[in-house]
Amino acid sequence: METGAWTGDPEGGAGQNPGWELLLGLTDALCPLGCMEDAPGRVQFAAMLADQLQRPVDLRGVRLREDVVAMVRTALSVPGGEHVLVGVVRILEGSTAGDELDRLLAPVALPAAGTDILAGPLTQAEEAEARAVLIRGDLPARRLRDDLVDELNGLDLPTGLTPEQLLAHVLEWNTQPDGLPPAVLLVDRAARLARSRTHGLALSEWVDEWTQRAGLARELKERRSARPDTPSDPDVPRCLLVAVEPARDGSGEIVVRSWLNTTQGRWDPQPAEPATTTLEGLGGAVESALRQGARLWSVPSEPDAGERLQPPPYVEFALPYDLLNHDVAGLNHQIGDGRPLPLGLKYAVHLRSLERMRTDDAVVLQQWRERWFALRRHGVTVHGWSEPDAARPDAWQTALAGESSRTAVVLDAPTDVAALEALKAAIAEGIGLAVWDRRGVFDDERREVVTAVFASVQTPAQIPLAIHRLRANAVLHAKGPGRFLGRHIGFLWDDPTRVVDLHPADPDLAS
């Protein structure tokens, strides 16, 4: 590593690196402030800071400390920027908070001019070389962005950028724990995606030469070896997963926790901060998460040659049993100044079982996986439930348990005890696909519509989009056999290969 390059290693201790001491101190002081509590407050702070610094401040808006570090780093990258940071705190939090922050600046000696520890890890000459080799040939921009997200463990990156713009975006980012800068990793990932062999070799050679000079050849080799050789799974969607957990303390409050999976083909959902609201306010909480998702899911207006337009993102609701019949697809979703429209018109909306995703029961988890893999291999085989089955619940579940080839259930709305118990039994037996009419009894005519939907797809993975089309057609067209069912269909699509951690460390978030 050349003299003056920032390695991003905090292990040397504050006494050896005053820049790290200041970064740590300012971060610890800012995190508890009221203006940092939620993402909108941090966005407001960042906008005011960027205006004063005349430099953009990029936030993910997901984790508090990560956002604060980004703001502090940007301020410290500008001469005198730490005092601008204090000034913004005075405006938004008052003089007392500003004075406390100001005390952190006096004892710390900033690095001398020309040794800015917050400069990027590459020299100007190396940046120019990387840019020159990157633009020498054609690269799939969206795939490069997605691969780099994977390489950086899910760290958010803008969409719609060219490879050169993406390089410029990450040039000053901190090195990874193994010492490799994101800019170098971007070029290395690009080498695997180059459309010509000559371009790919040129990219690889640049990376090899840089890591040799920096003494990081072994780390690069380990990185390359650790990358999976298996292709991405096209059935893994861009997705917003929303878990709803009632407080059950008589207050009527619910805790809404959400995760965003921004890359189709890879399941790597990133958590957002939880929100407390009521069931009536669920739509607003979802809309807030979707605004962030829309920014991350956006694609270039002219997709790379040979790349298909992506299907609409999924919006999945992990709900407790007593909320599975709630009309989440009908939640209002407003875009700009237009009229609010049903969520199911724009997104593929479906349900998941909160209890099953949270369970540690090994038998339940094993049956869930086995039924799901049977669905993917052999398709849909329905085990139906209707009112007469309420008189023989044991026999119905026994038949389901004895038929491992059954991969779906179609039943009445789980609003009465018998139908809900049947759905619980199906979930316990591993069923991941269930459909019902939310209004109550699912009559034979409407069950035939569901049968036709199942028959219309070439693979089970296409079922969520088929249900999405059914819902959209019900909103857009007043006629047709599925117009009523499309407005009222309940649809459980619960994939055991795509789960999130629903065991929060904070007991207040547990239902």
62 Cβ contact partners less than 8 Å away, ≥ 6 residues apart: 39, 156, 260, 270, 271, 272, 273, 292
Output the pLDDT for position 108.
39
Q: What is the mean pLDDT of residues 335-354?
A: 90
Domain parsing of the chain, residue ranges: 10-103, 124-226, 239-299+311-493
Tokens, residue 135: 């633009």
How far is 398 from 406, CA to CA, in rounded Å? Answer: 12
At 375-424, the pLDDT tens digits run 998 999 999 999 899 999 899 999 999 998 999 999 999 999 999 999 99
How far is 344 from 487, CA to CA, in rounded Å? Answer: 9
Share of the chain above pLDDT 90, in %: 41
Share of the chain above pLDDT 70, in %: 86
Sign of CA dihedral 44, 48, 49, 54: positive
Output the pLDDT for position 505.
38
At 82-141, the pLDDT tens digits run 888 888 888 888 877 887 787 777 543 333 333 333 346 888 889 889 999 998 888 888
User: Among 134-148, 284-298, 329-343, whose mean pLDDT is lowest?
Assistant: 284-298
Tokens, residue 353: 């079982």
Residue 304 has pLDDT above 50, yes or no: no
Residue 460 has pLDDT above 90, yes or no: yes
At 6-61, the pLDDT tens digits run 333 433 333 334 467 788 888 888 999 988 988 888 988 988 888 777 788 888 78
What is the pLDDT of the chain when averaged over all its residues? 83
Residue 52 to residues 55, 74, 78, 210, Cα–Cα distance (Å): 8, 12, 11, 36
Output the pLDDT for position 231.
56
Better-predicted residue by pLDDT, 344 or 338: 344
How far is 23 from 28, CA to CA, in rounded Å? Answer: 9
Rounded to the nearest 5 percent, the helix, strand and coil shares of the chain are: 50, 10, 40
User: Among 194-198, 435-439, 487-491, whose mean pLDDT is lowest?
Assistant: 194-198
pLDDT band at 493 (very low <50, low <70, confident <90, very high): very high
Q: What is the mean pLDDT of residues 268-290?
A: 90
pTM of the model: 0.59
Element (H, E) at 490: strand 489-493
pLDDT band at 150 (very low <50, low <70, confident <90, very high): confident
Residue 302 has pLDDT above 70, yes or no: no
> How many CA within 13 A on the CB side of residue 304?
17
Q: What is the mean pLDDT of residues 222-248?
A: 84
Q: What is the mean pLDDT of residues 338-353?
A: 92
At 425-441, the pLDDT tens digits run 999 999 999 999 999 99
How far is 505 from 312, CA to CA, in rounded Å? Answer: 33
How far out from the chain centre does Cα 464 lie? Answer: 19
Output the CA angle 397-399-400, nearest 5 degrees: 65
**CB–CB of 250/273 below 8 Å?**
no
Question: Helical H runs in 261-412?
Answer: 282-297, 343-346, 354-358, 362-378, 393-402
Torsion over CA of 402, 419, 463 and 332, rounded to 10 degrees? Answer: -160
Residue 355 has pLDDT above 80, yes or no: yes
Tokens, residue 495: 């994939």
Output the pLDDT for position 394.
92
Output the pLDDT for position 13.
38
Nearest alpha-carbon partner for 186 in 218, 169, 178: 169
How far is 269 from 315, CA to CA, in rounded Å? Answer: 13
